[in-house]
């Protein structure tokens, strides 16, 4: 199958690592901010790190917001990573309300407080965590997390949590301070990982590989 | 059950991985990329690369090393040493690092912390603190890889850097580092009581129990190891095994 | 007021300043030699250490020497002059542990102890060594230090002589023929290749070189009696005892490859040595020469006379030991060399009973003609190593 993975370069995030992750799994990958090139992709990746407002502004300024929405609506597989995942939702509470791409209904909000007797949640949450299926899923067959071993940790670093309004859009979560925190979201051809698959060792690289076969 | 990250710390000078005692007398250990790859494959959670001569030359020279290891290493990497501006930080991140660590430049100009934090997000910013004990419950901040004293109190500085937007603290005990006599537990405890951002304890690990004490007694969120790994006194596999028995939760590694 | 000393003549220096191609020492260091390739003799000696000397043989020689002198009743059989510093700690500990000797560490007190210096001497003693601390008459020592500063441009000469003669006096008293020093400075740092294979010095050398005319009698005008001056050297009777008892000064560096940084590691691990918490003024290092508040002034005068300060000296041997590159050394020298030892400046002035004006006059009278120029109301180096083409 002739894949063409395009990583959207909107000036935010450690794009090189994402690219190298895809290269390691032998995907045909390029980095681009050019709408024409993005439109030829078989798979799109929206990376991102840092503040929600900065991310959306950067995307808007490069006139990529509409392009991304259009391509996603066409059915091209789209993977959002970390901030990129959060931007898939409607809006974020971070430092005042900012509008997102609105591709998956939901909001980005503060971490919940930890439940009594559980380890306090430190923010930013910087840790390796194990994924558990969300309450609406029984398994991960035929999904982004196909063959992912539940006991393999992946790397999280975030200060805000993506909360899809529809339970069925949550694919995986992790447990922190006694709470369930959204880790992977999905809706049709759109996926989002709160963690960094390109920073989660071999386990993460497998997830990238799964994405290229979706 | 406390969740902890295990980090390999590589101090670099020129092309070499080095190690000293009390941040002095720097011995060459080998090639940074060899050790970085080794630790990645052994299951390190993160890597920290510190350029120990950066402040001498006025800039960070780890770009080439990071660029080359980033092709094969897929865990988070922090780079520090000589980072003086937002531009420096952006450059380092573009070459493949995930976080930058600042010390000397931040002490000289604390606003650097908020500048980097605003531009890249606090999760990309580690403030590196070198602390020397000056009395039973007071520590002084040092800069320039442990060479210059500043007269600044640890608690004051921690409070300030947190408010300015630091994401994590890399806390090195100048007294303990390289000695293999254990961490400065009082230092870590004081720091974790003062600030709510994650603390990476560095300096002094000699045996597994030191890690256990740093986490369970003193509240460290992550442990940075150098001497113990570089000189093969302990491996990640052994650390993982012993962690299972001591109520410390670490990353599950599938190899 | 002070007559300007002619450094070039006094120390027999070449007038054109040149730097070694490999390390950062210049030809203004007295007695150093540069070869046709522009490499200094100390660097050549470093090559010799690495490539020519058979260290196994040398160690064997030391074993045999120790076998001949080891006491069989646990009495002292070797004197190690030292003050709790990394080098003498290394020597004393090695002699005790590896060679089963019974060292007596003899310390000549610093002018004014630093806290870290005191701590390190205590650590040494606590790691199992007997120590004799000899403190000279404070009144005399201060006058003599002042005299040496004014007349010789080096306040440390009296200390150096006292430190050198005192262990021999103890050796005579205890009838111990072995006095073990660390490195042979002339060879390690001066590259005196003609001495590259000398393990020891004895009577002939002492009488001809080391203890002849140590201080000019002009020093007496500072209110110091001749008998007091003489105590800093060795008398004829003492020198004869040295000859009769076969007392020799041995260099540990002859028997074991001398690497100061390795001594540091050894001293930390085995004798509880601690480096200075901050870097020493005038250099980047933290592990050398820590115990005297006033030693910064010895290095500072060297910088004034020869353009070679403490940092240059530290950096040069680290290059030769393979620990830093010349580029890094140059950057270090640019950053730290000649840094004024302000930390204990007031203590120094008080100790020598001189004013700041007098201090500055004396310093200026010792400026090397080949290296300084007065420009824009300040003295700057004419040709520092970092501007070399």
Tell me how many domains chain A contains: 1
In a domain, C292, yes or no: yes
C328 contacts on B by Cβ (under 8 Å): 13-14, 53, 56
Q: Are chains A and C in touch, 3+ Cβ pairs below 8 Å?
A: no
Q: Could you give the strand order of the β-sheet that contains A190-193, starting from the edge strand earlier in sequence? A: A29-32, A5-8, A43-46, A78-81, A190-193, A179-187, A170-176, A132-133
The answer to whether residue C273 sits within a structural domain is no
A193: pLDDT confidence band, cut at 50, 70 and 90? very high
Q: For residue A78, give both structure tokens.
A: 């789209």
The answer to whether the CB of C184 falls within 8 A of the CB of C258 is no
Interface pTM (ipTM) of the complex?
0.87
What residue numbers bound the domain in which A130 lies?
5-212
Same structural domain, C71 and C167: yes
B130 is catalytic: yes
| Partner-chain contact B26 C331, CB within 8 Å | no
Nearest-CA distance B99 → chain A (Å): 10
Residues C91, C190, single domain; the answer is yes
Alpha helices in chain C (DSSP H): 7-11, 41-51, 55-69, 86-97, 115-126, 138-152, 157-174, 185-188, 203-205, 226-230, 236-245, 252-255, 260-271, 295-306, 310-320, 326-336, 345-352, 356-365
Is-contact B23 B227, C-beta < 8 A? no
Contacts of B71 in chain A (CB under 8 A): 20, 23-24
Question: Which of B11, B46, B210, B227 does the annotation list as catalytic?
Answer: B11
Q: Which residues of B touch C272 (CB under 8 A)?
A: none
CB A46 within 8 A of CB A80: yes
**pLDDT of res. C147:** 93
B25-65 confidence digits (pLDDT tens):
788 899 999 999 999 999 999 999 999 888 777 778 898 89
Q: How many CB atoms lie within 10 A of CB C238?
A: 18
CA of B255, closest CA in chain C: separation in Å? 36
The token pair at C37 is: 């390739």
Q: Is residue C270 part of a domain?
A: no
Question: Same domain for C144 and C250?
Answer: yes
Place of tokens 């910013």: B125
B147 touches chain C (CB under 8 A): yes
The reply to whether C250 and C105 lie within a common domain is: yes
**CB-CB under 8 Å, B22 with C278:** no
| The two structure tokens encoding residue C275 | 């480096």
Task: For residue B147, list chain C residues with Cβ-Cβ distance below 8 A.
Answer: 278-279, 284, 286
A123 contacts in B (CB within 8 Å)?
A: 196-197
For residue B166, the chain A residue with the least C-alpha distance is: A124
pLDDT in tens, B86-136: 999 988 988 889 999 999 999 999 999 999 998 888 889 999 999 999 998
Asked whether residue C46 falls in the same domain as residue C79, the answer is no
Domains identified in chain C, total number: 2
Whether C85 is covered by a domain: the verdict is yes
Which residues in chain C show pLDDT less than 50? none
What is the extent of the structural domain holding C65?
Answer: 54-255
Quote the DSSP letter at residue C145. H
- All structural domains of chain B, each given as residue ranges with its CATH number in brackets, are 2-249 (3.20.20.70)
* Facing residue for C278 by CB, picked from B25, B57, B149: B149
Say yes or no: C326 and C377 in one domain: yes
Q: Residue A183: is its pLDDT beyond 90?
A: yes
Spell out which residues of chain B touch residue A50, defining contact as CB-CB under 8 Å: 119-121, 123-124
| Set of chain B residues whose Cβ sits within 8 Å of the Cβ of C278 | 142, 147-149
Interface of C with B in 317-346 (CB under 8 A): 322-325, 328, 331-332, 335
B24 close contact with C: CB closer than 8 A: yes
- Residue C267 in domain: no
Statement: residue A1 has pLDDT above 70: no
Measured distance CA(A42)–CA(A62) in Å, rounded: 21
Token pair belonging to A152: 């393999």
Min Cα separation B232/chain C (Å): 17
The answer on C96 and C17 residing in a single domain is no
Contact across the interface for A51 and B118, Cβ inside 8 Å: yes
Do the chains contact at B76 and A23, CB–CB below 8 Å?
Answer: no
**List B46, B51, B115, B130, catalytic entry:** B130
Residue B254 predicted with pLDDT over 70: no
B152 touches chain C (CB under 8 A): no
C12 and C133 in a single domain? The answer is no
Angle formed at CA B37 by CA B36 and CA B42, multiple of 5 degrees: 100
Tens digits of residue pLDDT in B148-168: 899 999 999 999 999 999 999
Q: Do A122 and B71 touch (CB under 8 A)?
A: no
Chains that touch C (3 or more CB pairs under 8 A): B
Tell me the nearest-neighbour CA distance from C306 into chain B, angstroms.
24
Q: Which of A17, A54, A122 sits opposite B198 (nearest CB)?
A: A122
Quick one: CA torsion of A38, A40, A45, A46, rounded to 10 degrees? Answer: 20
Please answer yes or no on whether B93 and A23 come within 8 Å at the CB atom: no
Instruction: Give the chain B residue nearest A12 (alpha carbons).
Output: B120
Contact: B56, C268; criterion CB under 8 Å: no
Q: How far is B51 from chain A (nearest CA, A)?
A: 21
B176 lies within 8 A of chain C by CB: no
Contacts of C323 in chain B (CB under 8 A): 26-28
| Same structural domain, C87 and C191 | yes
Residue with tokens 């072995």: C178
**CA–CA dist B75, A21 (Å, integer):** 10
Q: Say if C271 falls within a structural domain.
A: no
Q: What share of chain A is helix, strand, coil (3-state, %, to 5)?
A: 25, 30, 45
Please say if the pLDDT value at position B21 is more than 80: no
**Most C CBs within 10 Å, among B12, B21, B138, B230, to test the C interface:** B21
* Domain annotation covers residue C2: no
C297 vs C29, C343, C348, C362, CA distance in Å? 17, 11, 8, 12
Q: Measuring CA to CA, which residue among B225, B53, B36 is closest to residue C323? A: B53
Q: Specify whether C219 is located in the same domain as C112.
A: yes
Average pLDDT over residues A131-157: 89
CATH code for the domain of A76: 3.40.50.880
Mark yes or no for CB contact B25/C275 under 8 Å. yes
Q: How far is C331 from chain B (nearest CA, A)?
A: 7
Q: Return the pLDDT at C257.
A: 95
Per the annotation, the verdict on B11 as an active-site residue is yes
Query: How much is the mean pLDDT over chain A?
Result: 92
pLDDT cut 90: percent of chain B above it: 63
**Residue at C356 is within a domain:** yes
Residues of A with active-site annotation: 82, 196, 198
């Amino acid at each position: 199958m002739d894949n063409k993975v395009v990583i959207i370069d909107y000036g935010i995030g450690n794009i090189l690592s994402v690219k190298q992750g895809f290269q390691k799994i032998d995907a045909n990958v390029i980095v681009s901010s050019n709408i024409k090139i993005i439109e030829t992709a078989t798979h799109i990746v929206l990376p991102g790190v840092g503040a929600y407002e900065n991310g959306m502004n950067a995307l808007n300024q490069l006139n990529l917001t509409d392009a991304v929405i259009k391509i996603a609506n066409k059915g091209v597989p789209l993977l959002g990573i970390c901030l990129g995942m959060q931007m898939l939702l409607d809006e974020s509470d971070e430092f005042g309300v900012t509008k997102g791409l609105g591709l998956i209904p939901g909001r980005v909000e503060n971490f919940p407080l930890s439940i009594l007797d559980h380890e306090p949640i430190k923010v930013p949450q910087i840790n390796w965590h194990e994924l558990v299926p969300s309450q609406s899923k029984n398994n991960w067959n035929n999904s982004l997390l196909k063959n992912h071993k539940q006991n393999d940790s992946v790397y999280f670093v975030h200060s805000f949590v993506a909360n899809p309004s529809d339970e069925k859009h949550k694919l995986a979560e992790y447990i922190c301070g006694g709470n369930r925190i959204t880790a992977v979201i999905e809706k049709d051809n759109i996926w989002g990982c709160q963690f960094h698959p390109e920073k989660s060792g071999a386990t993460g690289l497998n997830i990238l590989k799964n994405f290229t076969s979706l | 059950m406390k969740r902890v990250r295990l980090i390999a710390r590589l101090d670099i000078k020129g092309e070499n991985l080095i190690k000293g005692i009390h941040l002095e007398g720097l011995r060459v250990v080998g090639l940074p990329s060899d050790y970085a790859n080794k630790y990645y494959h052994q299951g390190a959670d993160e890597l920290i690369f510190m350029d120990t001569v950066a402040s001498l030359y006025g800039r960070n020279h780890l770009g080439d090393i990071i660029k080359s290891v980033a092709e094969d290493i897929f865990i988070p990497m922090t780079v520090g040493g000589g980072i003086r501006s937002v531009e420096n930080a952006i450059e380092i991140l573009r070459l493949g690092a995930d976080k930058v660590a600042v010390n000397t430049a931040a002490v000289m100009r604390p606003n650097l912390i908020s500048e980097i934090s605003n531009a890249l997000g606090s999760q990309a910013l580690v403030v590196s603190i070198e602390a020397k004990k000056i009395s039973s419950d007071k520590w002084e901040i040092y800069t320039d890889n442990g060479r210059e004293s500043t007269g600044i109190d640890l608690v004051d500085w921690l409070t300030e850097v947190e408010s300015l937007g630091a994401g994590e603290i890399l806390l090195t005990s100048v007294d303990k580092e390289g000695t293999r006599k254990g961490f400065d537990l009082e230092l870590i405890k004081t720091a974790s009581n003062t600030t709510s951002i994650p603390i990476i304890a560095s300096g002094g690990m000699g045996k597994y129990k030191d890690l256990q004490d740093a986490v369970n007694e003193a509240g460290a969120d992550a442990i940075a190891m150098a001497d113990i790994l570089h000189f093969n006194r302990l491996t990640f596999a052994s650390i993982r095994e012993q962690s299972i028995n001591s109520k410390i939760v670490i990353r599950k590694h599938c190899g | 007021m002070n007559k300007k000393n002619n450094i070039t003549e006094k120390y027999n220096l070449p007038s054109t300043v040149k730097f070694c191609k490999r390390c950062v020492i210049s030809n203004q260091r007295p007695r150093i030699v540069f070869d046709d390739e522009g490499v200094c003799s100390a660097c050549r000696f470093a090559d010799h250490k690495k490539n020519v000397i058979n260290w196994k043989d040398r160690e064997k020689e030391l074993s045999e020497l120790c076998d001949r002198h080891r006491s069989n009743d646990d009495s002292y059989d070797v004197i190690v002059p030292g003050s709790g510093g990394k080098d003498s700690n290394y020597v004393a500990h090695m002699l005790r542990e590896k060679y089963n000797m019974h060292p007596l560490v003899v310390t000549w007190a610093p002018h004014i102890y630093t806290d870290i210096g005191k701590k390190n001497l205590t650590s040494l003693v606590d790691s199992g060594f007997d120590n004799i601390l000899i403190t000279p008459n404070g009144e005399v020592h201060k006058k003599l230090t002042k005299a040496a500063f004014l007349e010789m441009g080096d306040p440390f000469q009296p200390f150096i002589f006292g430190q050198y003669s005192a262990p021999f006096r103890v050796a005579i008293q205890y009838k111990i023929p072995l006095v073990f020093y660390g490195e042979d400075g002339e060879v390690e740092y001066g590259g005196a290749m003609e001495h590259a294979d000398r393990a020891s010095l004895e009577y002939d050398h002492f009488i001809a070189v080391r203890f002849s005319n140590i201080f000019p009698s002009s020093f007496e005008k500072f209110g110091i009696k001749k008998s007091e001056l003489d105590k800093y050297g060795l008398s004829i009777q003492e020198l004869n005892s040295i000859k009769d008892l076969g007392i020799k000064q041995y260099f540990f560096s002859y028997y074991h490859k001398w690497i100061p940084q390795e001594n540091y590691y050894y001293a930390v691990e085995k004798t509880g040595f601690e480096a200075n918490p901050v870097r020493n003024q005038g250099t980047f290092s933290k592990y050398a020469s820590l115990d005297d508040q006033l030693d910064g002034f010895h290095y500072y005068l060297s910088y004034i006379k020869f353009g070679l300060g403490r940092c240059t000296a530290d950096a040069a041997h680290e290059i030769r030991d393979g620990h830093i590159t010349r580029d890094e050394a140059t950057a270090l020298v640019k950053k730290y060399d000649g840094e004024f030892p302000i930390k204990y400046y007031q203590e120094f002035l008080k100790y020598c009973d001189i004013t700041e004006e007098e201090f500055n006059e004396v310093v200026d009278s010792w400026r090397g003609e080949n290296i300084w120029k007065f420009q824009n109301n300040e003295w700057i180096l004419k040709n520092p190593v970092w501007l070399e083409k």
